[in-house]
Amino acid sequence: MYPLFVPPNRLLNGRRPKQWTDDEAQFYLEWLLSVQDLRVAALLKELELPPASGESEAEYLREAGKRATDRLASTSYSTQVGKGLNLTGQGSALAADMGLLVAQLLVRASGQKIHWSVRKEPMTDASYNLPVLFGTHPRMALDPIGGSMVEAKAVLRGKSTPAVWSDIFRVWLQKLLS
């Protein structure tokens, strides 16, 4: 059974991230960074992929995306609702972990010029108070977890392709470093 993506109890208080204090938002970022490597390792094991090393990150993510899409289409990871598929808890976790994999590869490919931080403005941003990736432009940020979950649903509904994670990597590497 794929491990669910469950934040610490301290944050499971019924409030949305926009309602978190600065300390709670920072706590979530620190928790996420503390579990990122373990979650990516679990993802790679599930996808039967070795850790990325030396090959093109975009090609690696293209293969990971194909394998993730196969998993997401299975009954452990999605359920039929009407004419479409919805992610289960395990499917949401796998989609979130694909975002963590993309993030890990972006940070590595940028030579640490891309880094995690808590999104603090604008308050209207969907990722406000959540961990996002920033690069050299102070206003340009990527929410790799939220974005990956949206894209996983699009892939399941035939609105995107398994190459989307590779595309996210290529596009956002350029955007975050420009």
pLDDT tens for the chain, 178 residues long, are 999 998 887 776 778 888 889 999 999 999 999 999 999 999 999 999 999 887 799 999 999 999 999 999 999 999 988 877 899 999 999 999 999 999 999 999 999 899 999 998 877 778 899 999 999 887 789 999 999 999 999 999 999 999 999 999 999 999 998 8
Gap between the Cα atoms of 98 and 156, Å rounded: 14
Which residues have CB under 8 Å from 149's CB, separation 6+?
A: 87, 92, 95, 96, 99
58 is written with which tokens? 């975009």
In whole angstroms, how far apart are CA 54 and each of 51, 57, 59, 150? 10, 8, 11, 29
Return left, alpha or beta for 112; rule: phi > 0 is left, psi -120 to 50 is alpha, else beta. Answer: left
- The DSSP bridge partners found for residue 115 are 134
Q: What is the pTM of this model?
A: 0.94
